[in-house]
Chains A and B, each alone.
Chain A
Amino acid sequence: MVAEPPPPDNAAKQDFALETRGLERSFGALAVTRNVDFRLEQGARHALIGPNGAGKTTFINLVTGALKPSAGRILLGGSDVTALPQEQRVKRGLARTFQINTLYRGLSVLENVCLAIGERLGSGGRLFRPAGSHREVLLSAYALLERLRLADDASRLVRELPYGRQRLLEIAVALGLEPKVLLLDEPAAGVPSAESGIIIEVIESLPADLALLIIEHDMDLVFRLARRVTVLVQGTIMLEGTPREIAGDARVRDVYLGEREHR
């Protein structure tokens, strides 16, 4: 394979889009993230897999700052953001979607995206001019919806939207931030094929310099979208490699696929 990760010694020279060092987190007695050293290269297409409860979502929460780590460091584009609040990390180009839809359910689809774009353009805190006359925000939001085939639903309230379309909107809101690093938490899980097709298409057409980390259980999708895969088991990284290496690894099949068949 072409892109072998550089040996750790040179690590300081190259800035990874995202890097964690010795990341730890526990809930009470339960250690959910254990000594995770993870790297996401610039322009990466990287999948994070692992059985249920492995700590994948927690990892995203730590990286974005939604949760504070018990120990360890987080670097974005080479600079330490461990102490930065969530909004500062977003300003530096970090965006995420949620595994469980986390949208403004009582607002329209269009406004959901508008809020994100408004924050990106720095108009989110303006006190006087009505939101409706920030034309730039409205138009960018609408264009984004068109791209995700959501334009027909633009005026609908999110809570009236079918699940699959809500999943699409999750991605739309994140894309509204024009991220440099995008973390997708099971974007296509449980989504009907019509929408999952759009989701895959959108992911495939993301800018080449954007670094993508996608949590995904479906190995076919992982093969299709990812060039590298990290396997997380019980909070630690068990293995990292190309999709082919991962799929061929007996341990992964044991831990990961065995667990899946249980359900």
Chain B
Amino acid sequence: MSDTPLPSVATTSVRDRPLPEAVRRLARRHHPRVYEALPWLLATAGYFAFPDYRQLGAQVFIAILFALATDLILGYAGVITLGQAAFFGSGAYFCGILSAHGWSEPLSLLIAGAAAAAAVGFLSGFVVLRTTGLTQLMLTLIVAVMLGEAANKATGLTGGANGLQGMEIAPIFGVFELDLYGRTAYCYCLVLLFLGWLAVRTLIYSPFGRSLTGIRESEARMRAIGSPVFRRRLTAYVISAALCGVAGALLAETTQLVALDTLSFERSGAVVIMLIIGGVGRLYGAFLGVPIYMILQDRFAQADPTYWYFWIGVFLLLIVLFARGGIIGLVERGARLIRPRRRSVSTPGSENIG
């Protein structure tokens, strides 16, 4: 055995050689891959291929943005939440209320929605993130339910059960009017989804994002290496909330209506289910999970209007028993069977699910 110098001194030697393979691989990990263009190409093609479905397309993009934002704290920071609608709804209502009072510029309304949701995230984060497990889950639920009750009661402001009406949205950049056919809405939501995706992608490959993954993988170790775990989680919580708020505000702007269901448990639950179907903690889980869930729900509801959630339940049971990691998890396992080597890492952000 050689007399290798001490760790603090040893760092000179690697520098003089070409980068080792392992280092190069990590250094390259955030580089874009070819297939990452796929969703955007599909979405662009969708605009022309299905002109009648542009309104629906816009809603799907909003749902994906919502799921993407949720994944940041569910999949990366490992906070089990059943209350993401709190942020979605806060964004939607704040945007809607401002707009009903005459503030009609859409981009600033998005920012306002994001800010409102971030504030809710910051405040509730102090309670929610100090707890774990069942208590944490219950608290996320409570925050959303409380906001729901408040919105239901404050009829003067929110319109209560009738929903908030009378929103006025000016054309985007003063040029693109939100039309009935969803032409503008489709593009608007797609661009914002793209920006949101860019933000989330940047975040998960940043040291901050890696430390979130670290917290999820082992909180005890994360503390032992001196990471301020609570602050990191809170930051993630607030960022996620802000993005959820953008999604909510987008919904308000494109539908020009805000209803209580933006704050509902159904919405919170559905987004988690969508993510699990697609694959939690995987950048593209939201892109797969949301459309699949929407299609399934539509199909089941058509085939069996009274008992459709029975089939959803069965489907979820199958996922949790046989397809942990969701669709992307399955794809990864398939890929590993084909290329059974230890270079198992395939999709971005996915290498870290246990």
Contact = CB atoms under 8 A, between A and B. Distances in A.
A/B touching: CB–CB < 8 A: yes
Interface of A: 64-66, 85-87, 89-91, 95-96, 98, 102-108, 110-111, 114-116, 118-120, 123-135, 137-140, 142-144, 146-147, 151, 154-157, 159-160, 173-178, 197-198, 201, 205-207
Given A115-B211, A128-B206, A147-B4, 20 more contacts: A65-B223, A90-B225, A98-B220, A103-B218, A104-B214, A108-B351, A111-B26, A118-B207, A124-B207, A125-B228, A130-B205, A133-B27, A137-B207, A142-B22, A143-B7, A144-B7, A154-B22, A155-B342, A177-B225, A177-B226
Interface in B173-225: 202-203, 205-211, 213-214, 217-218, 220-225
A244 B208 CA distance: 49
A172 to B, nearest CB: 8
Given A106-B354, A115-B210, A177-B225, A138 B23 contact: yes
Contacts of A134: 207
Given A125-B211, A131-B207, A98 B221 contact: yes
Contact of A139 (B5, B14, B28, B353): B14
A106 B352 contact: yes
B6 interface: yes
Contacts of B344: 157
B353 A106 contact: yes
Q: Which 7 A-B pairs have the closest CB atoms?
A: A90-B226, A154-B22, A104-B217, A130-B30, A116-B225, A143-B11, A106-B354
Contact of A91 (B29, B207, B213, B226): B226
Given A142-B23, A143-B7, A155 B343 contact: yes
A64 B11 contact: no
Given A132-B27, A135-B27, A124 B218 contact: no
Interface of B: 1, 4-8, 10-15, 20-23, 25-30, 202-203, 205-211, 213-214, 217-218, 220-229, 231-232, 235, 342-344, 351-354
The residue in B208, B351, B353 that gathers the most chain A C-beta atoms within 10 A of its C-beta is: B208
A115 B225 contact: yes
Contact of B213 (A85, A107, A147, A155): A107
A126 B211 CA distance: 10
Nearest to A85: B228
12 contacts: A95-B224, A102-B218, A108-B22, A115-B214, A119-B227, A127-B206, A128-B202, A131-B206, A138-B23, A143-B12, A147-B5, A201-B1
Contact of B218 (A89, A105, A119, A126): A105
Nearest to A160: B342
B213 to A, nearest CB: 7
A130 B10 CA distance: 25
A122 to B, nearest CB: 10
A147 B5 CA distance: 8
A128 B217 CA distance: 22
B206 A118 contact: no
**Most chain A beta carbons < 10 A, residue from B7, B25, B342:** B7
Contacts of A116: 225
A140 B224 CA distance: 19
A104 B214 CA distance: 6
B208 A125 contact: yes
A90 B23 contact: no
A89 B227 CA distance: 11
Contacts of B228: 85, 87, 125
